[in-house]
Amino acid sequence: MNKLGFLVLSAVLVTLPVSGMAAYEGGDVKDGGTISGSVKFKGSAPAPKKLDVGKDKEVCDKSPKTDQSLIVNGGNLVNAVVTITDIKKGKKIELKKVTMDQKGCEYHPHVLAFPAGSTVQILNPDGILHNVHSYSKVNSAFNMAQPKFKKTMDVKIEKPEAVEMKCDVHGWMQGWLVATENPYFAVTDNSGSFKLTDVPAGTYTVEVWHEKLGKSSQKVTVKAKEEAKANFEIAGK
């Protein structure tokens, strides 16, 4: 390659975004608005399936266990993750250590959301062996034994992704780590509701992700110091 070609190629590379880096700028938000709403399940939800606890029953079978992959409470969809997918500038991203507990041979919470780059502390208070196995596609997968003497274990989720977790010792254990691109996220509670605060004025795509029902989105316009509504109704598959 001649010198001119090298210089042209260098200039092009400088102008291209760095792969894997989020194009999000965090800072102070003045006169921000709010997006709030609810996520409903359309139709009649199936009854939660009872799970068979076949190992370490003295610890794991102290209370009945049901499949947590679809929880509907009075028509409200629980454990859906709501995010703004196309916001480029807004409030600062705060990376804090978050916690996933395995008490009673269940993941608590079932769905844990946090900004990508955060560290997840995984707890084992059960006094038995667990094995934490992630099924990552974007991040590096991990498969780690956590014996009873290892009460805590840290993993870092670098890139945005919904990561399924299972325990290789107790096959019924299943949960999700959801790493987001920006600080605008919420997990619906028992009322199916959510709230995203300090949103700069503008029009955005608000997306709902659910482990069984997939994704749904809508455009929402936020005005300064005002509250915008975004309500979803998602059918079963």
pLDDT in tens, 93-145: 999 999 999 999 999 999 999 999 999 999 999 999 999 999 999 999 999 99
The residue type at 127:
G
Supply the pLDDT for residue 237. Answer: 78
141 burial class (0-12, 13-18, 19+ CB within 10 angstroms)?
exposed
Burial of 184 (0-12, 13-18, 19+ CB in 10 A): buried
What average pLDDT does the chain have? Answer: 92
> Could you give phi then psi for residue 130, rounded to 5 degrees?
-115, 160
In a domain, 17, yes or no: no
Q: Find the domain containing 234 and state its range.
A: 25-57+70-90+190-237
- Residue 206, domain CATH: 2.60.40.1120
CA distance 134 to 164: 6
| Short-list 231, 225, 218, CA closest to 199 | 225
Same domain, 86 and 131: no
Residues 115 and 157 placed together within one structural domain of the fold: yes
Q: How many domains does the chain have?
A: 2
Separate counts of helices (H) and strands (E) for the chain: 2, 20
For residue 122, being part of any structural domain is answered with yes
**Final residue before a domain boundary, out of 137, 156, 181:** 181
- Cβ contact 128:151 at 8 Å: no
Q: What is the mean pLDDT of residues 192-206?
A: 98
On whether residue 116 sits in a domain, the answer given is yes
Q: Give the helix/strand (H/E) hosting 90.
A: strand 89-91
- Examine residue 7 and state whether it is found in any structural domain, yes or no: no
The whole-number average pLDDT for the span 169-192 is 98
Distance CA 233, CA 235 (A): 7
Confidence of residue 23 (pLDDT cuts 50, 70, 90): confident
Q: Say if residue 6's pLDDT is above 60.
A: no
Average pLDDT over residues 81-99: 97
The residues, ordered by sequence, that sit 6+ positions from 66 with a Cβ below 8 Å of its Cβ are 48, 49, 50, 51
Residues 195 and 166 in one domain: no
Does residue 210 sit within a domain?
A: yes
Q: Is the pLDDT of residue 231 over 60?
A: yes
